[in-house]
């Protein structure tokens, strides 16, 4: 086996090596000397890290030498980064945590807002990672339903973090029994099922409140998490709906720090709207390394995410199980949309909004093929509670046997699927 | 020793041959792989084995194209190997430079001085002798191995260490010795240098206890000073950036001349001696000597002692990276630097590092009753690379509060022995306005041509670093970890868009502090705290478990489990690493010991039982019990033998009681047993009960998210409407193939199960049990399943089936 010649990169202090790796290639990265970090997580020296389908920034405070084996589609060194301000932000937050610990108060609750593609998730990761490096146990709240950093796209999640964020896996894989290099996290996930909060803002806000309620309840009990605070990553929505959501977030999570990333007007608005109430509003520049992700890339990331949910990563492979289920043993549900009657058919004066949180049954059919369904933890179908019941996981419909009234699904783990209510969202996945 | 023969296991030889073969086949050789291969091979060099050394030498010769990598690997090995394994690695280096030479000579030459001396410092005395022997062969080798000056340097270092070793002088610990200073502490800078360049070891290895001061009088003291100076000079040579040593040498030179020229009272020489004792390593060279960062001193170009010229430092050290991390434990440096202290205005590292002779006239510092004017340091060294920050003065933060030069130095300030020296000297009156040194300084014959006034107050304010620091009022420092302190010491950063942009080099240090504990498997750093080692240990244990599970991966597949319910999530806590259980094998080991102990006792007990004799009368009584009516023919029962094993009892004549008795017999509950047989039965029953209890406990703790062992299949009972009405039909578990033929219950079973065979199939549930199943809490359900399993384990499948039928 001949390995491609590794390429050596020498980084001066506070430089950043930015690489983009295609989905079908694998690239090995190794820190030879010096120190370096990827989204806040420090790299070990002479440890090989493998990436595929990622855009990565390797930053060094002290200068370093890096070896890269494999072909990257983009690779360059940048010497202008906003890292200094990111680090200062962390220190400021950490100081609040120290004070919170001393006075037995709540740590900082940080809301990160900004338009799409400014590096909100990366900044969240960095701030969380830094906090973890300081032995904190923050909770990561992901309200970006389009991405699904922790579980799957279409979810609102909260995840307590206790161990360092893995360089290769990102936030770690949720609830695996697999030996992963990173941490196995246990997220709390609620199913929204649409890519944008706009698609069903009523449901979104319902779930947001529920999530905040659970997080707050946990914070009451979990002292380490309480003093460490939370970091909330949001959707890139900055229009009227977006502002509403932000306002709701601030209230629901008692946010006391708003970080506006790469958007001057938003910063001005946030300062105007929220600073008076004792909320600190700061703006941070977006990193030059942030690239606009086109729909294709987002789609591929989504696919990768789904694949990883069932099959794991190359480093820690998972074994999903295929199971055949009778149509009538399960109930497939959908919120609003599917049942929306044309507005002309609505009774006069009836507001369409009413049906936004209306739960309807979906008859299993060929339409379900390749869908990713979310398994609700609910045992009984009680509306509207069932909407706000958190998820047990996801299954993938690999086959429909219409004639036999059965469907074959891929389940993440062996055993029967624990619950019978499954949510259908807009998520589809063509398993390859 | 070196030539000692060793029979190498054939497997190992084979492996090495393969590796060599591999090395030749691969063109070009991949440095990654080469490193990996060589490292693996090197790992076997744990004892002095000529074959391994030869093989490694050949390997190095064959792979000269990656000599750099190999040298790095060997250096790394020599540095990291346990003390008792360093010698073989040195032999390997010796072998490579003598037999292969070439590029290796130059590569090793770069670091051989530090490598050799670092290793030499820690090995035991017999190995030291071997080290010296190896060293002895180098200068006169047929070809030149290393430049003469390098070898001389090593020899000097060895000599210095040998001299120290000969002594029995123990640094007195009753001396307010900084209690943390005996913890090995890396010079942050040198550690970082090794990070940066990967070629220099830690420079401050604990050196053997220093030389004795047996002789009394000034001559003895002089000798002490000279010896100590030698040690410090060595430390300096080893690490040119070692500011502490550099300063100490400067101080020592002062002292030396002082002692030479002054008649000291016995008291003062004792005090000096005591202070000297503290300067000796093994407490490795303190990271910094907080001597003169204040009062304009460093800016005044100080006359350098002749042997302290920076140029004389070995050129082997890599150049200083311009901005170095700062240690995390800053005792409250100022929140904001006055603008004039920005990086550009700082003096050069060499300037800072230069030893400052004591009698420098503090030009322009007016003295007022021995209190110096609080002059802002011109060299606020925050962005200064090599200036370790751990003892940064607090002065700048409180420019209006005069420091108290006469305050006794806190004895526990880390890394401040030299400062203590000054403090004590001052207290003793030796140093100070009216002290000996002061007089000396006024003495025109003083070697330095000293000019009054004496600079005495300078070192002192620094030693009071933890003193009246600008503590944020709300802080209770006692509760703070070192880390919190370093975070807070940056000064509260306002969450404003402006303050966030300010450059704070010390902030980086908060993230990359100097805690010496960093996991080499993932880069995890252990925050400095009292239980850091414990945390790191459990972190490594975690790696160990992960790696072990990784290895098991082939055997066992893993999967993602279902997420927990909302309530569980709210109340659950992520497993804290430090609380995670001890590695299993510890429990296992203790378990084994326990069992074997019990086992032993048991055996003794059984032996005793076997020999115990019971008379027929006693047995008969036992058989009848309280029931006097019972008419049991004891003899007949006894004749039948043990009720368990059916063997006859051994009949013996009891001389003492003059009656027939039976060995190992016991009458219990109207039956006669061998005492051993019965005890056995009791034990096994107890064990079963315990197992059942354990199973129950496990069942109780099994939670919903635990992987269900049931097979996911659905069954349709077309002829069983009473079943299909309940949701349990979907949950009916089909457990074995036999059930498929079970037509009578009307369950038509389709095994759509595509899961691998290793999925444990659940045992059947009786329909009744199944009906209640869904209503039960999960934990109970789980228990039920286990119970069912146990049941069916005891009964055969067939009988179960027939029950169903």
Instruction: Give the per-residue pLDDT at A228.
Output: 92
Q: What is the mean pLDDT of chain A?
A: 85
- Residue B606 host element (H or E): helix B584-611
Count the Cβ atoms, other than its own, within 10 Å of residue A31: 26
End-to-end CA distance of chain A: 27
Percent above pLDDT 90 for chain B? 0
* pLDDT beyond 90 at B23: no
Asked if B90 and B134 count as a contact pair (C-beta separation under 8 A), the reply is: yes
**pLDDT of A169 strictly over 50:** yes
Q: Which residue has the tokens 């894989």?
A: A173
Q: What is the pLDDT of residue A114?
A: 92
Which residues is A406 bridged to in the sheet? A326, A401
Average pLDDT over residues A407-420: 86
Please give the residue that has the higher pLDDT: either B702 or A327.
Answer: A327
Q: Which residue of A has its CA nearest to B191?
A: A34
Contact A326 B714 (CB under 8 A): yes
Count of C-beta atoms within a 10 Å radius of residue B584: 11
User: Can you tell me whether residue B268 is helix, strand or coil?
Assistant: helix
Confidence of residue A156 (pLDDT cuts 50, 70, 90): very high
In the prediction, which pLDDT does B246 show? Answer: 60
Confidence band of B535 (pLDDT split at 50, 70, 90): confident
- Chain A hits for B496, CB-CB cut-off 8 Å, are 280, 282
Residue A8 CB coordination number (10 Å): 11
Q: Is the pLDDT of residue A279 over 80?
A: yes
* Contact status, residue A136 vs residue A201, Cβ threshold 8 Å: no
Q: What is the mean pLDDT of residues A306-331?
A: 84
- Tell me the per-residue pLDDT of B598-624, one tens digit each, with 9 for 90 and over: 566 777 777 777 777 777 777 777 766
B123-178 pLDDT per residue, tens: 888 888 888 888 888 887 777 888 888 888 888 888 888 777 654 333 333 343 33
* pLDDT tens-digit map of B314-370: 433 444 444 434 444 434 433 343 333 333 333 333 434 334 333 333 333 334 344
Collapsing DSSP to helix, strand or coil, B556 comes out as coil
Task: Tell me which chain B residues have a C-beta less than 8 angstroms from the C-beta of A176.
Answer: 558-561
Position B757 scores a pLDDT of 38
Q: How confident is the model at residue B289 (pLDDT cuts 50, 70, 90)?
A: very low
Cis peptide bond upstream of B28, omega within 30: yes
A402 CA: distance to closest CA in chain B (Å):
16
| Chain A interface test: which of B523, B715, B753, B760 (most A C-beta within 10 Å) | B523
pLDDT of residue A254: 92
Q: At what angle are helices B266-279 and B417-427 packed, to 10 degrees?
A: 170
Between helices B67-80 and B86-99, what is the axis angle to 10°? 150
Minimum Cα–Cα distance from B496: chain A residue: A282
Q: What digits encode the pLDDT tens for the residues B768-804?
A: 333 333 333 444 444 444 444 444 444 344 443 344 4
Given a contact cutoff of 8 angstroms between Cβ atoms, the answer to whether A183 and A163 are in contact is yes
* Rg of chain B over all Cα atoms, to the nearest angstrom: 39
Nearest by CB: B487 against A98, A175, A412: A98
Please give the structure tokens belonging to residue A98: 């120290």
The answer to whether B711 contacts A415, with C-beta atoms less than 8 Å apart, is: yes
Question: What are the tokens at B424?
Answer: 């004590």
pLDDT tens figures, B662-690: 888 887 777 788 888 888 878 777 777 76
pTM (2 d.p.): 0.49
Confidence of residue B400 (pLDDT cuts 50, 70, 90): very low
Which residues are CB-contacts of A242 (< 8 A; sequence separation ≥ 6)?
A: A113, A197, A235, A236
pLDDT digits (tens, 9 = 90+) for A82-138: 999 999 999 999 999 999 988 888 999 999 999 988 889 889 999 999 998 888 889
Q: What is the pLDDT of residue B763?
A: 37
Mutate to test the interface with A, among B562, B568, B729 (most CBs of A within 10 A): B562
Facing residue for B559 by CB, picked from A30, A87, A318: A318
Residue-level pLDDT at A259: 94
Query: A228-251 burial, b if ≥16 CB within 10 A, otherwise e?
Result: bbbbbbbbbbbeebbbebbeebbe
Indicate the helix (H) or strand (E) that contains B671: strand B671-674
Burial B597-630 (b: 16+ CB within 10 A, else e): eeeeeeeeeeeebeeebbbbebbbebbbeeeeee
Assign B367 to helix, strand or coil: strand
* Chain A residue at shortest CA distance from B485: A98
CB contact (8 A) between residue B504 and residue A91: yes
What is the radius of gyration, based on Cα positions, of chain A? 22
Instruction: Point out the least confidently predicted range of A11-15, B7-11, B70-74, B218-222.
Output: B7-11
What's the confidence (pLDDT) of residue B479?
39
Q: Do B546 and A44 touch (CB under 8 A)?
A: no
The whole-number pLDDT of residue B338 equals 39
Q: Is A92 on the interface with B (CB under 8 A)?
A: yes
Residues 6+ apart with CB under 8 A from B378: B296, B298, B299, B340, B341, B345, B347
Tokens standing for B33?
């792989």
Residue B646 has pLDDT above 60, yes or no: yes
Per-residue exposure over B699-709, b if at least 16 CB sit within 10 Å of its own CB, e if not: beebebbbbbb
Instruction: Look up tokens 């370096």; give the residue.
Output: A36
> Exposed e or buried b for every residue in A177-209, given b needs 16+ CB within 10 A?
bbbbbbbbbbbbbbbbbbbbbebbbebbbbbbe
- Residues with Cβ within 8 Å of residue B223, at least 6 apart in sequence: B211, B213, B215
Four-CA torsion A145, A149, A152, A153, nearest 10 degrees = 30
Facing A135 at nearest CB: one of B507, B527, B566 = B527
Is residue A37 marked as binding? no
A329 and B576 within 8 Å at the Cβ level: the answer is no
Distance of CA B764 to the CA centre of its chain: 51
Token code pair at residue A301: 């990331």
At residue A112, the pLDDT reads 94
Mean pLDDT, chain B, integer: 57
For B78, the token pair is 């020599």
CB proximity list for B723: less than 8 A, separation 6 or greater = B717, B729, B732, B767, B770, B771
ipTM of the complex: 0.87
**Residue A177: beta bridge partners?**
none
- Comparing CA positions, the residue from A291, A237, A292, A288 lying closest to residue A266 is A237
Nearest to B773 by CA among B738, B804, B730: B730
Closest by CA position to B705, among listed B794, B778, B791: B778
* pLDDT at B4 (0 to 100): 42
Cα B652 to Cα A1, B616, B666, B675, B677: the distances in Å are 80, 11, 15, 16, 19
Please give the structure tokens belonging to residue B394: 């607090």
In the 3-class helix/strand/coil scheme, how is chain A assigned residue by residue?
CCCCCCEEEEECCCEEEEEECCCCCCEEEEEEEECCEECCEECCECCEEEECCCEEEEEECCCEEEEEECCCCEEEEECCCCHHHHHHHHHHHHHHHHHHHHHCCCCCEEEEECCCCCCHHHHHHHHHHHHHHCCCCCEEEECCCCCCCCCCCCEEEEEECCCCCECCCECCEECECCCCCCCEECCEEEECCCCCHHHHHHHHHHHHHHHHHHHHHHHHHCHHHHHHCEEEECCCCCCHHHHHHHHHHHHHCCCCEEEEECCHHHHHHHHHHHHHHCCEEEEECCCCCCCCCCHHHHHHHHHHHHHHHHHECCCCECCCEEEEEEHHHCEEEEEHHHHCCCHHHCCCCCCHHHHHHCEEEECCCHHHCCEEEEEECCCCCCCCHHHHCCEEEEEEEEEEECCCCEEEEEECCCCCCCCCEEEEEEEECCCC
Token match 């909100």: residue?
Answer: A120
Strand order of the sheet with strand A64-69? A7-11, A64-69, A27-34, A48-51
């Amino acid at each position: 086996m001949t390995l491609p010649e590794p390429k050596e990169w020498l980084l001066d202090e506070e430089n950043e090596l930015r690489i983009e790796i295609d989905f079908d290639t694998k690239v090995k990265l190794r820190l030879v000397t010096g120190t370096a970090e990827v989204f806040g997580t420090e790299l070990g020296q002479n440890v090989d890290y493998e990436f595929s389908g990622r855009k990565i920034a390797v930053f060094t405070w002290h200068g370093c030498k890096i070896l890269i084996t494999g072909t990257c589609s983009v690779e360059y060194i940048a010497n202008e980064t906003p890292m200094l301000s990111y680090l200062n932000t962390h220190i400021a937050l950490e100081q609040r945590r120290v004070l919170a610990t001393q006075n037995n108060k709540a740590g900082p609750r940080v809301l990160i807002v900004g338009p799409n593609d400014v590096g909100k998730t990366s900044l969240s990761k960095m701030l969380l990672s830094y906090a973890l490096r300081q032995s904190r146990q923050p909770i990561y709240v992901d309200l970006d339903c389009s991405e699904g950093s922790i579980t799957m796209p279409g979810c609102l999640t909260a995840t307590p973090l206790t161990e360092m964020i893995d360089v290769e896996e990102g936030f770690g894989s949720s609830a695996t029994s697999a030996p992963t290099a990173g941490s196995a996290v246990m997220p709390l996930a609620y199913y929204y099922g649409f890519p944008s909060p706009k698609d069903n803002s009523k449901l979104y806000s319902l779930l947001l409140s529920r999530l905040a309620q659970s997080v707050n309840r946990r914070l009451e009990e979990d002292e380490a998490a309480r003093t460490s605070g939370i970091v909330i990553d949001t959707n890139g929505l900055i229009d009227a709906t977006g502002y509403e959501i932000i306002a709701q977030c601030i209230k629901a999570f008692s946010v006391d720090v708003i970080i506006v990333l790469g958007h001057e007007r938003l910063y001005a608005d946030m300062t105007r709207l929220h600073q008076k109430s004792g909320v600190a509003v700061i703006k941070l520049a977006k990193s030059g390394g942030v690239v606009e992700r086109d729909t294709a890339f987002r789609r591929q990331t989504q696919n990768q995410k789904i694949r990883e949910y069932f099959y794991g990563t190359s480093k820690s492979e998972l074994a999903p199980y295929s199971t055949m289920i009778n149509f009538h043993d399960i109930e497939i549900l959908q919120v609003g949309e599917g049942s929306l009657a044309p507005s002309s058919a609505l009774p006069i004066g009836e507001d369409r909004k009413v049906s936004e949180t209306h739960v309807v049954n979906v008859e299993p059919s060929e339409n379900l093929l390749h869908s990713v369904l979310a398994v609700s933890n609910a045992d009984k179908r009680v509306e509207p509670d069932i909407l706000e019941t958190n998820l047990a996981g996801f299954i993938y419909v690999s086959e429909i046997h219409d004639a036999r009234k059965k469907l074959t699904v891929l389940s993440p783990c062996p055993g029967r699927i624990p619950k019978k209510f499954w949510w259908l969202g807009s998520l589809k996945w063509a398993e390859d | 020793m070196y030539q000692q023969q060793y029979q190498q296991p054939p497997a190992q030889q084979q492996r090495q041959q393969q590796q060599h073969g591999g090395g030749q086949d691969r063109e070009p050789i991949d440095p990654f792989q080469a490193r990996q291969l060589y490292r693996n091979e090197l790992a076997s060099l744990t004892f002095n084995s000529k074959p391994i050394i030869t093989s490694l030498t050949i390997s190095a010769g064959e792979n000269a194209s990656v000599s750099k990598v190999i040298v790095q690997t060997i250096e790394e090995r020599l540095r990291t190997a346990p003390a008792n394994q360093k010698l073989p690695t040195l032999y390997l280096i010796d072998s490579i430079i003598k037999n292969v030479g070439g590029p290796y000579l130059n590569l090793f030459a770069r670091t051989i001085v530090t490598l050799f001396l670092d290793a030499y410092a820690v090995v035991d005395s017999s190995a030291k002798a071997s080290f010296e022997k190896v060293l002895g062969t180098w200068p006169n080798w047929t070809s030149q191995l290393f430049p003469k000056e390098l070898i001389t340097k090593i020899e000097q270092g060895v000599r210095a260490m040998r001299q120290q070793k000969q002594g029995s002088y123990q640094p007195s610990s009753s001396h307010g010795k900084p209690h943390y200073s005996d913890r090995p502490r890396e010079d942050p800078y040198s550690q970082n240098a090794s990070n940066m360049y990967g070629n220099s070891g830690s420079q401050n290895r604990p050196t053997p206890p220093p030389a004795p001061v047996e002789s009394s009088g000034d001559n003895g003291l002089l000798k002490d000073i000279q010896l100590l100076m030698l040690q410090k000079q060595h430390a300096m040579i080893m690490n040119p950036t070692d500011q502490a040593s550099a300063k100490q040498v400067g101080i020592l030179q002062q002292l030396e001349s002082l002692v030479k020229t002054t008649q000291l009272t016995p008291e003062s020489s004792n005090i000096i001696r005591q202070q000297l004792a503290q300067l000796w390593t093994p407490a490795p060279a303190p990271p910094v000597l907080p001597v003169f960062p204040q009062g304009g001193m460093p800016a005044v170009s100080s006359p350098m002692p002749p042997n302290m010229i920076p140029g004389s430092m070995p050129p082997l050290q890599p150049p200083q990276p311009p901005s170095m991390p700062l240690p995390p434990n800053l005792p409250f440096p100022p929140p904001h630097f006055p603008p004039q202290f920005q990086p550009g205005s700082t003096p050069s590292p060499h300037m800072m590092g230069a030893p400052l002779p004591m009698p420098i006239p503090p030009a322009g510092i007016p003295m007022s009753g021995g209190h110096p004017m609080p002059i802002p340091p011109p060299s606020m060294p925050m962005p200064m690379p090599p200036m370790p920050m751990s003892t940064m003065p607090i002065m700048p933060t409180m420019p209006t509060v005069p420091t108290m030069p006469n305050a006794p130095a806190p004895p526990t300030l880390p890394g401040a022995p030299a400062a203590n020296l000054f403090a004590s000297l001052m207290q003793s009156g030796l140093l100070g306005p009216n002290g000996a040194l002061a007089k000396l300084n006024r003495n025109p014959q003083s070697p330095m041509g000293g000019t009054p006034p004496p600079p005495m107050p300078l070192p002192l304010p620094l030693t009071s670093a933890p003193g009246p620091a600008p503590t944020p009022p709300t802080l209770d420092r006692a509760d703070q970890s070192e880390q919190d302190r370093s975070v807070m010491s940056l000064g509260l950063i306002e969450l404003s868009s402006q303050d966030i942009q300010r450059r704070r080099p010390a902030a980086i240090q908060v993230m990359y502090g100097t805690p010496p504990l960093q996991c080499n498997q993932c880069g995890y750093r252990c925050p400095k705290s009292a239980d850091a080692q414990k945390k790191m240990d459990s972190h490594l244990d975690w790696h160990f478990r992960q790696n072990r599970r990784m290895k098991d991966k082939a055997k066992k597949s893993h999967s993602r489990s279902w997420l927990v319910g909302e309530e569980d999530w709210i109340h659950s806590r992520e497993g804290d690493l430090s609380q995670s259980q001890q590695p299993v094998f510890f429990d296992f080991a203790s378990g084994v010991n326990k069992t074997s102990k019990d086992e032993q006792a048991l055996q003794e007990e059984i032996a005793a039982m076997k020999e115990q004799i019971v008379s027929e009368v006693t047995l008969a009584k036992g058989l009848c019990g309280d029931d006097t009516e019972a008419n049991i023919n004891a003899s007949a029962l006894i004749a039948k033998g043990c009720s368990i094993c059916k063997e006859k009892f051994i009949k013996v004549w009891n001389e003492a009681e003059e009656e027939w008795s039976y060995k190992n017999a016991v009458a219990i509950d109207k039956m006669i047993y061998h005492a051993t047989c019965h005890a056995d039965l009791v034990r096994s029953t107890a064990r079963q009960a315990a197992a059942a209890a354990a199973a129950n406990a496990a069942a109780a703790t099994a939670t919903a998210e635990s992987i269900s062992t049931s097979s996911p299949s659905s069954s349709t009972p077309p002829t069983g409407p009473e079943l299909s009405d309940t949701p349990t039909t979907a949950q009916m578990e089909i457990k074995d193939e036999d059930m498929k033929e079970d037509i009578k219950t009307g369950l038509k079973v389709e095994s759509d199960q595509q899961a691998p065979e290793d999925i444990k199939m659940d045992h059947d549930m009786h329909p009744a049990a199944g009906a209640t199943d869904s209503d039960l809490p999960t934990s109970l359900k789980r228990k039920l399943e286990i119970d069912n399993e146990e049941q069916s384990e005891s009964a055969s499948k067939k009988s179960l089936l027939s029950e169903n039928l």
